[in-house]
A and B are shown apart, each in its own frame.
Chain A
Amino acid sequence: MRAYQTALTLLLSVLGVGAAAGQRVELRPAPPVSLPGISDSNSPVFWWNGAFTVIQSAALPIFSRGPGLLGQLKARAVALDTYEHTPLWIESVWLDDDGTLYAWYHHESPVCNGRLSMPVVGALVSDNGGESFRDLGIILAPAEEPDCEAANGYFAGGHGDFTVLLDQEREYFYIYFGNYGGSESSQGIAVARLAFSDRADPVGKVWKFFNGGWGEPGLGGRVTAILPASVPWNRPDVDSFWGPSLHWNWAINRYVMLLSRACCEPGWPVEGVYISFNPHIGNPYGWSPPKKILDRGEARWYPQVIGLEAGASDRLAGGVARLFLGGDSHREIVFHP
Chain B
Amino acid sequence: MSSPRSLLGAVALAGLCVSLWGQRVQLRPAEPISFPGASDSNSPVHWWNGSFAVIQSVALPIISFGPGPLGPLKARAVALDSYEHTPMWIEASWTDDDGTLYAWYHHEMPICGGRLSMPAIGALISSDGGLTFRDLGIIIDSGYAPDCNAQNGYFGGGHGDFSVLPDHDRRYFYFYFTNYSGPEPSQGVAVARLAYADRANPVGRVQKFFRGGWREPGLGGRVSAILPAYISWSRPNADSFWGPSLHWNSAINRYVMLLNRACCEPGWPAEGIYVSFNYDLGVPYGWSPPEKILDRGEAGWYPQVVGLEPGMSDKVAGSVARLFVGGDSRWEIVFSP
Contact = CB atoms under 8 A, between A and B. Distances in A.
Interface of A: 34, 36-38, 56-62, 64, 72, 74-79, 83, 86-87, 327
A231 B17 CA distance: 75
Contacts of A79: 59-60, 86-87
Nearest to B34: A72
A77 B77 contact: yes
Nearest to A61: B77
Nearest to B61: A77
Nearest to A72: B34
A293 B76 CA distance: 29
B72 A34 contact: yes
Given A37-B36, A76-B58, A77-B58, A60 B77 contact: yes
Nearest to B40: A76
A83 B36 CA distance: 24
25 contacts: A34-B74, A36-B36, A36-B64, A36-B74, A37-B36, A37-B74, A38-B74, A59-B77, A60-B76, A60-B77, A62-B75, A74-B34, A74-B37, A74-B38, A74-B327, A75-B64, A76-B59, A77-B58, A77-B59, A77-B60, A77-B77, A78-B77, A79-B59, A79-B87, A83-B83
B111 interface: no
A142 B246 CA distance: 53
A58 B74 CA distance: 11
A78 B77 CA distance: 8
A36 B34 CA distance: 10
Nearest to A83: B83
B136 interface: no
B108 to A, nearest CB: 13
Interface string B48-78: 0000000011111110100000001011111
Contacts of B74: 34, 36-38, 327
Contacts of B60: 76-79
Given A74-B36, A78-B60, 14 more contacts: A59-B79, A60-B77, A60-B78, A62-B37, A64-B36, A72-B34, A74-B38, A75-B36, A75-B38, A75-B64, A76-B37, A76-B59, A77-B77, A327-B74
Contacts, number: 73
A32 to B, nearest CB: 9
Which of A58, A61, A74, A83 has the most CB atoms of chain B within a 10 A radius of its CB?
A74
A38 B75 contact: yes
B327 A77 contact: no
The 3 closest A-B pairs by CB, nearest first: A60-B77, A77-B60, A36-B36
Contacts of B36: 36-37, 64, 74-75
A61 B38 CA distance: 15
Contacts of A83: 83
Nearest to B132: A59
Which of A36, A38, A60, A83 has the most CB atoms of chain B within a 10 A radius of its CB?
A36
Nearest to B82: A83
A312 to B, nearest CB: 23
B271 to A, nearest CB: 25
User: Size range of the interface on B?
Assistant: 20 to 34
A86 B79 CA distance: 9
A86 B76 CA distance: 14
Which of A57, A64, A86 has the most CB atoms of chain B within a 10 A radius of its CB?
A64
B53 to A, nearest CB: 13
B59 A75 contact: no
A37 B74 CA distance: 5
Which of B37, B57, B76 has the most CB atoms of chain A within a 10 A radius of its CB?
B76
Contacts of B64: 36, 75
A64 B34 CA distance: 13
B208 to A, nearest CB: 31
Given A77-B58, A77-B60, A77-B61, A38 B38 contact: no
Nearest to A76: B58
Nearest to A40: B76
A87 B77 CA distance: 11
A38 B64 CA distance: 9
A83 B86 CA distance: 12
B226 to A, nearest CB: 32
A77 B61 CA distance: 6
Contact of A36 (B57, B59, B75, B87): B75
A58 B76 contact: yes
A66 to B, nearest CB: 11
A72 B38 CA distance: 11
Contact of B77 (A34, A58, A72): A58
B63 to A, nearest CB: 10
Nearest to A326: B74
A77 B72 CA distance: 19
A75 B86 contact: no
Given A74-B36, A79-B59, A38 B76 contact: yes
A60 B78 CA distance: 8
A123 B234 CA distance: 44
Which of A64, A72, A75, A79 has the most CB atoms of chain B within a 10 A radius of its CB?
A75
A199 B60 CA distance: 28
Given A77-B62, A79-B59, A36 B37 contact: yes
Nearest to B73: A36
A56 B38 CA distance: 15
